[in-house]
Structure 1
């Protein structure tokens, strides 16, 4: 939004051009989202407490969670507001990739908001019926996948495979299906990870940092050719969105770190997960996201394995799923689990970045 004004003023004075430079906008986007999230956080927490919009705790979960019933939820609204404002101000809104991202980000956020709202109103941990949640997430994901596939005559359906530079198969219309599963899958995986104070937001920040680096490399003809990854000129603006997630995430972490004063809720985890999945699709780095977001994959797989084992064999693999609850029931303290998962997430992001060179 501001970029349009800067471009107009540059016609009268060339010095304004510095404000439209990518590096300036990236730093400004980070600082803007960080300031907004930290500035409105305290007011938002006070407002939620006044309305008694508190976390609904599962009765069958770790008993230590019962003390969290008075902690406000829906803190993801802070992140959504700060990311949207920062992105709308500092990105080039003529870039269609930004609108794909905003659509998924807001759409998944609305679904998460309805889910959280139902939990609070009905004082139940069930929330929105699963089939309706997946239906609306699927509709949004399929629409964006189809728009992305048919929206450009130069669209490539190559699947970039880590470690391999000469084998990038064209998937054709199957790319739409892959995109759908990546967006919906990442949204749900992040949602499952958000179960302890600050557990999900730091891995989200790490992955956003990794994707911002990949966006920068992908938008450069020189680096993309050197690393044998697709060159995508539109990817440049994705950096602005990524750093706005980083800034708002750091600001939110101030309130969400153990002991949390507010929880992200589904409104935040679904929105952020969907956004990360969409960025990976737009960069054509779906498998790279699988590596960098390894902690989310582990959490999601623990649930799948637990449910499958119980239904097929009648017994559970873990004491409780997702897997972070398993460690809680084994006696690990919450801060220890959180720190351990942060370290693992950081390692996964580094491994993902390394695969760009080892090709």
Structure 2
């Protein structure tokens, strides 16, 4: 709302233009969400107490753990609603609500919050710490993930950049040789005037490389380069053959430029990288330059796995005061930065990341979520005045997973959310070991309870796990340059 108000008033009040900047609005969204939590948190906690929506501590697992946590019985839960409401209200004020990626992320957030709310409500009404059955909860998560996956399969979020970038040239010396010997110009006599041999020195510096790219991009943008008589000796890639056979090459300007660029890559594979089609169904491997896993229709299944995995991993981590909230804030901070990076053509090109032009509003979304998370942590820190419940944990995990998917950094989530992966893995290892060997690996799973039962205080476990989460997030950001 305030975004459009700033747009409307900036002709008269130029200073308001600052509120159209994504970074400024992201900061304002975080602060607003945080303040909303501080303002309405106490009232919500009193309301939850009045409704007798307190946590039940189960005694049927480990007696020692029950003794450690028994004092928490009756603490209000379902406090995750505070995170959701504060974040959504902040987004209403500071974001562009017509940005489709923002709408998608918000829809997933609210849908998973609803699944968690139903689970919490049923459990509290039954006066026991069990709500929805595992099957019902998984069904809800799978449904949300399936809708998201299908939407992204049919409406891509990525933007193919048909023009050549600096990273698309494999060997500048080889390029200079090709240009200087006139071979390329001879293949395209109609566009020969665009290629100035003098502009291609044997070892171009950074300024000259930019000039060379400008000349080449003008070259591939003017007219159809392909002619069987001049390019008949070139083995065409299936992607280029399809563009030519379907007629897109001759009728669509962007398809023409893309085809021309691919034609250069097919003719001179040692000089140019190939165009990567269908990026929206490919998964980038972190740390490798333009290496993707093509999934096709299976990308929908992959999205479901990410959503179910991330939401459940955060849910499993939510067992100590402030643990899940603090770790989620760290992961959200990392993906907020990534969202801003991939929304910029220059930065994504420099780091060889997939360009997602609409992702700038995801930075505002991530900032609002981490601000709301910090506001909730104000009340959830030890000793907790309120628990987030599945309402918050499923939504937070889903939000992190959705950011990973929409920024096309899905596999990086394993590192960004490394702590959540460890917590979930500890449960899998414990269950598998007990079923196969009849023995437990840990004193109790998830892993944070193992350390509690080993004598660590709750605060020490939480702070040390936060440190681990921060190290994982920093490591993941460091890998962005490893290409």
TM-score by length of 2: 0.72
**Paired residue for 1:167?**
291
**Paired residue for 2:20?**
20
Larger radius of gyration: 2
Distance 2:116 2:72 in 1: 20
Deviation per CA, 1:73-103: give whole Å up to 9, x if none.
1110110000111112211112111111111
Contact 2:284 2:290 in 1 (8 A): no
**Paired residue for 1:152?**
156
**Paired residue for 2:75?**
71
Distance 1:112 1:146 in 2: 22
**Paired residue for 1:134?**
138
Distance 2:85 2:10 in 1: 29
**Paired residue for 2:377?**
253
Distance 1:247 1:22 in 2: 16
Q: Determine which of 272, 294, 300 is the counterpart of 2:418.
A: 294
**Paired residue for 2:476?**
352
**Paired residue for 1:334?**
458
Distance 1:13 1:196 in 2: 49
1:107-256 maps to which residues of 2 (within 5 A)? Answer: 107-152=111-156, 156=279, 157-256=281-380
Q: Determine which of 86, 100, 103 is the counterpart of 1:99.
A: 103
The reply to whether residue 35 of structure 1 matches residue 55 of structure 2 is no
**Paired residue for 2:90?**
86
Structure 1 runs not aligned, ≥5 long = none
Q: CA RMSD in A?
A: 1.4
Distance 1:351 1:219 in 2: 21
Q: Please state how far the C-alpha of 1:350 moved relative to its aligned partner.
A: 0.6
Q: Please state how far the C-alpha of 1:15 moved relative to its aligned partner.
A: 4.4
1:31 counterpart SS class? helix
Q: Please state how far the C-alpha of 1:12 moved relative to its aligned partner.
A: 5.5
TM-score by length of 1: 0.97
1:200 counterpart SS class? helix
**Paired residue for 2:51?**
51
Q: Please state how far the C-alpha of 1:246 moved relative to its aligned partner.
A: 1.4
Segment drifting more, 149-158 vs 290-299 = 149-158
Distance 1:21 1:335 in 2: 39
Contact 2:430 2:445 in 1 (8 A): yes
2:323 counterpart SS class? coil
1:165 counterpart SS class? coil
Q: Please state how far the C-alpha of 1:182 moved relative to its aligned partner.
A: 0.6
Aligned length: 359
**Paired residue for 1:343?**
467
Distance 2:385 2:2 in 1: 34
Q: Please state how far the C-alpha of 1:11 moved relative to its aligned partner.
A: 5.4
Q: Please state how far the C-alpha of 1:245 moved relative to its aligned partner.
A: 1.2
Q: Please state how far the C-alpha of 1:19 moved relative to its aligned partner.
A: 2.1
Distance 2:156 2:459 in 1: 47
Q: Please state how far the C-alpha of 1:169 moved relative to its aligned partner.
A: 2.9
